[in-house]
Structure formats: C-alpha cells, structure tokens
A and B are shown apart, each in its own frame.
Chain A
Amino acid sequence: MYKYDQYDQAMVDTRVEEFRDQTRRRLEGKLTEAQFTPLRLKNGLYLQLHAYMLRVAIPYGTLDSRQMHALADIADTYDRGYGHFTTRQNIQYNWIKLEEAPDLLADLAKVEMHAIQTSGNCIRNISSDHFAGAAADELVDPRPYAELLRQWSSFHPEFNALPRKFKIAVIASETDRAAMRLHDIGINIVKNEAGELGAAFYVGGGMGRTPMIAPCINPFVPLDQLVTYAEACLRVYNRYGRRDNKYKARIKILVHELGAEEYTRQVEEEFAHLLGQGVEPPLAELERIRTYFEDPAFQDASNDTIDRSDPDFALWVDRNTVPHKREGYVSAVISLKPVGGIPGDATARQMHVMAELAKSYSFDELRVMHTQNIVLPHVRKATLYTLWQTLEAEGLGSPNLDMIEDIIACPGLDYCSLANARSIPVAQKIAERFASTGKTDALGQLKLKISGCINACGHHHAGHIGILGVDRKGVENYQLLLGGSEAEDVSLAKITGPGFDENGIVDAVETVTDVYTRERQDGERFLDTYRRIGMDPFKEALYG
C-alpha cells in the first residue's frame, strides 16, 4: 500500500489546520454561509437532509486495517456508529457536527486519509479495480498508475475550478470491474504488439442526466507520457467545457458536441505542445510508487483445499470468492447487503471486525467495491472457513455477490437533499421479495441498481435492471430500466415505460425476472436474454 511521504502528510495536515481556522471563523460569524460553503465542500463536508455529511476519499478503494479501524472509531466518536460505503469506493458519514469536523479530519490525517476533492468541480478520488493486485486476469496492478494520477490531480492548481466535477478510473484487465467507460476518463493499461505497456484512454463517459459511454480516443499512450496525456485531455475540457449550463458542463457533453474525432484532434495538439513542457513526472517516481504495491509475502498454498462439508459455507465460497493470481489464494467478498439491510452501510463494530480479518487473513489489506461491498483481496483457501464463520456471526456473510439481492442503492430521499424518492426501502423490499420466494438462485448473475434521482449515484443506467426514483407531484414514483452494464460489455439501460409506485416497482422487477426465466436459453444471464429478445416481451408482461 502507498504510504504518505513528508509532502503528502504536510499537505493534508496543513489543510486540516486551514479548515479548523475557516470553521472557527464561520462559527464566530466572520464568514457567511455563502463564503463558507465552497470552503467546506473543498473538504468533503456537505449539508444534507438531516445534518452535515462528510465524504472521505479512499484512494482507489484500498485500505489497511489501521485505516479501517480509524473509520470505525470516527463512526463511533463523531457519527452514530455507522458509515456508508459508496459507489465511488468512498465512505460517507451522515451525522457530522460542523464544530467537530476539524477534529475528525485531524484524526483521519493521522491514518493518511482525508476528504479533500470529494466534492466540487475538481478531479475526484481516482477509482480502480477492487481486485487490483490480486485478480487472476490482470495484466499488471493498476494502482501505481492510479496513485500517480492521484498525486498529479491532488491540489492541481489548473484543475481546481473545472466546468464540472471530474472522475477518473484506471483498470488493467479485459474484465472491467470499475465501470471504466462510464467515467470522464477511463484508462485501461494494455500491452502493445511489442509487449510494451501503455494506456488506452477512453474519454467522455458518464451516467447522470445524459448517460454516455466513453469512446476510445487513443488506444496506446506510452506510460512515460500518461500524466501528460491526461493533462492534455483536461486542458481541452477546461478551456472549452461549458460553464454556462450546469447540466451541459461535464466532459461527455463536450466530447459529444465536438465529436470524438475533433476532441481527440485538439487533445493531440495540446499533447504535442505539452510534451515539451516537462509535465511528466520522472519514471523513477512511478517506480518509487510501484514499490508500495509489490506482492505481499504469499506462501506456497498450492496444496490448500477447501472443505465443503458445510453447505452454507460451500455456497458462500461459490458465490463470494473469486480466482486469485496465486494458486491457493482467493479474493473474498464481504457482502454489505444482508436481506432487509441498507446497501453499503456498516456499523463501527463491523468495520473493526473487517479490519481484524484483513490483518489475520489478507495481509492487512481491504478494498471497497463500487458495488458497496468490501474485499479481502488475498485470502488463503485453507483459512476461508474460519474467516467465513466470523463473517456469519457478524452479519457479514450473505452469499449474494452479483445476484439480485446484491443491490446497489444510493442514499436516496432518506438522506440526500437532491433526491426525488427513497432508494433504500425499494432495495430492501426487492431483496426481501426474492429471498422469500426463493427465486434468487435461479436468476444467477443479475445486477440491480437504484438511484433516488437523475444524478445516478446508484448507477441505474448500468444495471441489468435499473430503477430511477422520480417525483410525481410530491409522490415517489419509480421508473424501470433494462439492459445496462458497467462491465466490458458496457451498455446503457432503457426505460420500459410508465413508472410504478413503491410496491408496484417490486412487482415489476419480479415480472421482468419471470419473463427472463421463461425465455432464457442455456447459460444466458438476464442481460443476455434481454439483448437477444429485446424490450417488447418485457413491456408486454409489464403493461399488457
């Protein structure tokens, strides 16, 4: 894991003290709310429906046990004993007091964490593959590149006031586990025919009001030009992105309006100019960063076996563990989606437990998934049963990875001031319906995603089944979407037709899954069947 050097630590510590002073001045009335709001937002502090909400950055979703323990302590000390893991691999606290926020940030800084650039029109926390460094199918670990970009983008003076927020994801495998093409910039580390590593740049993707899939604008940028190319992409956006209309200000609109070809031409022109400006950090810096991401001391576990005699355990192994690059190891997914629970929420106690499990069984590492679960990336098969027993005892053992009960749901109207409708109760009802009817198993992989408004924090456009909460004259209403994917087979979901009320949407989800089970051919997932038969049979079943 990356460790702060003296510059990182000094920057974060200085920022905490600066914010302490700003907060004091606000509380003393020397700053108005209008003056203070942009300052608190720069430190991730929002004012939400019930209280201040703090969004803490978890760089590319990677944590160690010390940090997870600290997040748990913060939940206990400053919040109400829990936190919410988000679709951007971050954590949010819902009940923060302004007067305590500087102390909280100081506690975070002690474990090399902060909430800087988790809000506002800047480059946000870089996200990545949650199985990075562990996945059997990855080319290289993408995190050194994500870390390099984190350092480049942190406090970047030129990109501190972009037309709109800016999100970057970095992956290094053909399987896309980070919704890479639904980011402002998606970077895939690839190999060319000569066997050299480079970066494929996808620019102009996103969800929200106008969902778009990022086109590839350059299939191979040499790694010693990675930062310069990213800088060129941002420069063109910063210069020409629309500032006159908030809803048209994201880079996806610029790329769309200019056309990918013209945008690329401008980027290449800027890139050629920048190449002579010494923007790129020396490769030695990348090498320095890379040393922090070397493999842990894996043991020879090739003879490890899994005793499957306990059927509940065997089911969890089948569903919640994924292949690892080292024989005898797996990555284990801790589900934060118990049936009837709140997707992504974890209590302080659960965070402490996960931290201890990471220490005992996963070389002290944890990852936050954009699907709001937690990964223990490197677990020996021989230790899985003991690990699972603890998870079970702590309500963390739901065997439902990528199944219909593993729902992504944004905080929605229960917490979010931008929401039109509640997301969480809908997620709870759907999970309860499928758990009680026993249909979950038969559906196999089915990704269901719910957002409480068009901002799409719940990734509804990318759900095999998506749900969007809307406000119909003050009453919650839910639109149903089908056919989205955030993975390498990326696609945007389409709306089925008129929306449903809270109970109606639960029935509607069951109806479309019934169409799937009736129509599917061997080996087809819901998404495959939808793509083969199209929307009509689903519409027919829903609306007659």
Chain B
Amino acid sequence: MRLLTGNDLKTGAVTWWTGTDWSIHVEDAADVTGHEDEIARREEASRRVNGPYAVDAELKDGVPRPSHIKERVRSLGPTVRPDLTLKPAEPDIGNWVI
C-alpha cells in the first residue's frame, strides 16, 4: 500500500492522509495507491500540508507500517526519547520501529 505523508505547515508535525483529512497518527492513514499526486497537489495548494510525498507501507496487525525505517521513526518519534513519542505508554513500541 501507499501512504501520503507530509508536515503540518504551522507546527511542522508529521501528518498522514486519512482519506478525508490529515492525522498525526499513522494508524489513521489511508491507502492512496494511484491517487498520490492528485491528493498531494490539492492538499498542498490548500496549505493543509507542507511537502507531501507518498511512501510504501504494509499492513501489520491491521495497522499501516511504513516500509522504511525513516518513515517509521517519523511516524512515532525519536526512538531515544520514548517519553516524547506518540505512544509513551507502550513500553515495547520501539520494536515496531526497528
């Protein structure tokens, strides 16, 4: 599957296209296969996202997991600061990234 990601223009936060909106949670991301460019162009023009691009991913336990480690680090947060990741309460979340 393909996911569309970018950064929120105002805050810089990593965001994912859900099919209707942008979310900071990768588990909300929709498969955009075949529509990447069209959605990216439209959303960037309306300034809802900064620098959108598509990445490869696969479904793991029903949740989209980006194929490249860089995108997994982006989607969660720095692996060395579990307190600052999106899921600080999950002690094993680092395994999802690596």
Give the contacting residue for A27; candidates B9, B67, B68, B69; CB below 8 A: B9
A422/B84 in contact, CB under 8 A: no
B77 within 8 A of A: yes
* Contact mask for chain B residues 1-14; partner A; CB cutoff 8 A; 1 contact, 0 none: 00000010111111
A415/B9 in contact, CB under 8 A: no
B73 within 8 A of A: yes
B80 within 8 A of A: yes
A29/B69 in contact, CB under 8 A: no
> Which chain B residue shows the least CB distance to A45?
B12
Q: Tally A residues with Cβ within 8 Å of B.
A: 29
Distance of A51 Cα from B69 Cα, bound (Å): 17
When distances are taken between beta carbons in the complex, the residues of chain B under 8 Å from A476 are 69
Which chain A residues (390-428) contact chain B, with CB distance < 8 Å?
413-415, 417, 419, 422, 424-425, 428
A80 within 8 A of B: yes
A195 within 8 A of B: no
A50/B10 in contact, CB under 8 A: no
* Contact mask for chain B residues 55-86; partner A; CB cutoff 8 A; 1 contact, 0 none: 00000000000011110011001111100100
Which chain B residues (26-69) contact chain A, with CB distance < 8 Å?
44, 47, 50-51, 67-69
Distance of A47 Cα from B84 Cα, bound (Å): 18
Distance of A415 Cα from B80 Cα, bound (Å): 10
A50/B74 in contact, CB under 8 A: yes
A474/B67 in contact, CB under 8 A: yes
Distance of A97 Cα from B50 Cα, bound (Å): 13
Known: A99-B10, A425-B80. A49 touches B67 (CB 8 A): no
Closest approach, in angstroms, between the C-beta of A207 and any C-beta of chain B? Answer: 22
B11/A33 in contact, CB under 8 A: no
A475 within 8 A of B: yes
A342 within 8 A of B: yes
Known: A47-B51, A50-B74. A425 touches B79 (CB 8 A): yes
Distance of A424 Cα from B51 Cα, bound (Å): 27
Distance of A52 Cα from B50 Cα, bound (Å): 11
Give the contacting residue for A33; candidates B10, B13, B50; CB below 8 A: B50
Distance of A47 Cα from B49 Cα, bound (Å): 13
A49/B50 in contact, CB under 8 A: no
A414/B9 in contact, CB under 8 A: no
* Contact mask for chain A residues 31-57; partner B; CB cutoff 8 A; 1 contact, 0 none: 001000000000000010111100000
A47/B50 in contact, CB under 8 A: yes
B79/A99 in contact, CB under 8 A: no
B79/A50 in contact, CB under 8 A: no
Known: A29-B47, A474-B69. A422 touches B79 (CB 8 A): yes
A413/B73 in contact, CB under 8 A: yes
B68/A474 in contact, CB under 8 A: yes
> Which chain A residue shows the least CB distance to B76?
A50
A168 within 8 A of B: no
Give the contacting residue for A52; candidates B12, B67, B68, B80; CB below 8 A: B12
When distances are taken between beta carbons in the complex, the residues of chain A under 8 Å from B77 are 50
When distances are taken between beta carbons in the complex, the residues of chain A under 8 Å from B44 are 33
Closest approach, in angstroms, between the C-beta of A341 and any C-beta of chain B? Answer: 9
Closest 5 CB pairs of A and B: A51-B12, A414-B78, A52-B12, A97-B11, A424-B80
Partner-B contacts on A (CB < 8 A): 26-27, 29, 33, 47, 49-52, 80, 94-99, 342, 413-415, 417, 419, 422, 424-425, 428, 474-476
For the A-B complex with A47-B50, A97-B10, A97-B11 known, give 4 more contacts whose Cβ atoms are closer than 8 Å: A27-B47, A49-B74, A417-B70, A474-B68
A-B contact pairs, 11 of them (CB 8 A): A27-B47, A33-B50, A49-B73, A50-B14, A50-B77, A97-B11, A98-B11, A99-B10, A413-B69, A417-B70, A474-B67
